[in-house]
Structure 1
Amino acid sequence: MNAEADTTLHPEVVRHLDHLRVQRRLADRTLALYGQAFQRLQAFMDREALNLAQVRPHHVRGWTARLHAQGLGSRSIAIHLAAWRGLFKALGRQGLAELNPVDGVRAPKAAQPLPKALSVDHAVSLAQASAQVPPVTATGQARARAEREAPWLAARDHAMIELLYSSGLRSAELIAMEVSAHSDAPCWIDLDAGEAHVLGKGHKRRLVPVGEAALRALRAWLAVREEVAPPGETALFIGRNGQRLSAAQLRNRLKQLATQAGLPTHVHPHMLRHSFASHLLQSSSDLRGVQELLGHAHISTTQVYTRLDFQHLAQAYDAAHPRARRRSKPSE
């Protein structure tokens, strides 16, 4: 949406969007979403013959309810309110609004979906499949290149899968891993100590243990990496171009590996983090410990895994307990 050319928006709103684009440098996607939010705000005001200075909290609450009735989700409504709140805050600084009518108005709460985790068997199958060099089906030059790349790609993929599942890393943390510790390294592995040094969200550092299977896979990868990484490249995990692996490359590779392993579900990097947390909690019941390992700022974020753990137990109960199974009615 080109808000600059849209004459239906109030000039102050257009100036505010320009400020967000030029001074705040918001992403194009965010600007588009904010532009849609301002379009709806303008439509609501026009319908009730209001200008920006006349908008009050009861108006915003009514419009929020209307957005919800129109089918907008909680997240979309929250984006609308954030855009409106920022606009009225800017108008207040300019003396064009006496109050911020959006303050105190919140989006409807959305049901928190349970994180999707792999079963232990599926997680192990994925790790084992990633270690296997896939058969080469190409021909000619493509075959020669595939045969040359296949062994080191398998070593890299196996190390990535084992590390994600062993230590519960976020994909950004895995991608940021350096070959060795240095002054600018955000994340690195201490192989001798069996520890991952991680710089997570909010620039918070944490120390995470690395399992023996992951350490073996990492050593195998490092032995091969020396042969394929270009001089000066410090990233632990690299792509075919010799540069640091990207988030998209990681997602696509994990999707391919899940298919090769015959898993019945789509697998993404964060699913291995969920699996790490869920399986650890099932074994230890140490919620605070899992919180520390995941790097969650609040225990409430980690508590979602207790719901996942209970769901797992409930399914086991339904499948195994003799009084849980429904019995068919006797024929009359």
Structure 2
Amino acid sequence: MYLRLTGKGNKDATMPRPEPVLRALLAAARDRTTGSVVLTKSGKAQNRRSADGRCKILVKRAGLPAGTHPHPMRHATITAALDAGAPLRDVQIFARHSDPRITTRYDRGRQNLDRHAAHLVSAYIAEGSMPAS
């Protein structure tokens, strides 16, 4: 299942949704198939201000530190994807960054020489020079 959304700068995007996220989105949408997923108590589309208020409530309920906002959660997700070994280009697309240099800022391991591309190139060349068995 995929989610079509309009992001920052009114850029349209289609993103896959992992099963737990999909279940939460379907529960929030109830029987609606178009329009906003998350609505206010009065049934209007949730705007940035009401989303911020809802986030504060959820942060408090979850016992997270006060001041936790969506952007640090986004930052943590991007960092986790890079730490998990996802290719930079894939994470850039996931984050909807227009420039890979923005995504690179999130990469805590970019100075880790164990992950240096020289190792991949060396293994690739060595594999190609091995005689076929």
> Is 1:256 matched with 2:57?
yes
- Flag the 1:206–1:235 CA change in 2: closer, same or farther, 3 A: closer
Aligned to 2:21: 214
TM-score normalized by structure 2?
0.69
Cα deviation 1:2-34 (Å, max 9, x = unaligned): xxxxxxxxxxxxxxxxxxxxxxxxxxxxxxxxx
Aligned to 1:239: 40
- Flag the 1:215–1:300 CA change in 2: closer, same or farther, 3 A: same
Q: Count residues in correspondence.
A: 111
- Is the Cα contact below 8 Å between 2:88 and 2:104 reproduced in 1? yes
> Is 1:199 matched with 2:1?
no
Residue 295 of structure 1 deviates from its aligned partner by: 1.1
Q: How do 1:156-305 and structure 2 match up within 5 A?
A: 194-223=1-30, 234-305=35-106
Structure with greater contact order relative to length (CA < 8 Å, sep ≥ 6) = 1
Instruction: Report the Cα distance in structure 1 between the residues aligned to 2:36 and 2:9, rounded to whole angstroms.
Output: 22
User: Quick check: which has more Rg, 1 or 2?
Assistant: 1
Corresponding residue SS for 1:207: strand
Cα deviation 1:234-275 (Å, max 9, x = unaligned): 322110121111111111111121111111342212222212
Structure 2 stretches lacking a partner, 5+ long: 113-133
TM-score normalized by structure 1?
0.30
- Is the Cα contact below 8 Å between 2:3 and 2:16 reproduced in 1? yes
Letter in 1 for 2:59: A
- Flag the 1:204–1:250 CA change in 2: closer, same or farther, 3 A: closer
- Flag the 1:219–1:204 CA change in 2: closer, same or farther, 3 A: closer
Instruction: Report the Cα distance in structure 2 between the residues aligned to 1:235 and 1:197, rounded to whole angstroms.
Output: 11
Corresponding residue SS for 2:54: helix
- The root-mean-square deviation of aligned C-alpha atoms, in Å, is 2.6
Identical-pair percentage: 31
Instruction: Report the Cα distance in structure 1 between the residues aligned to 2:56 and 2:88, rounded to whole angstroms.
Output: 30
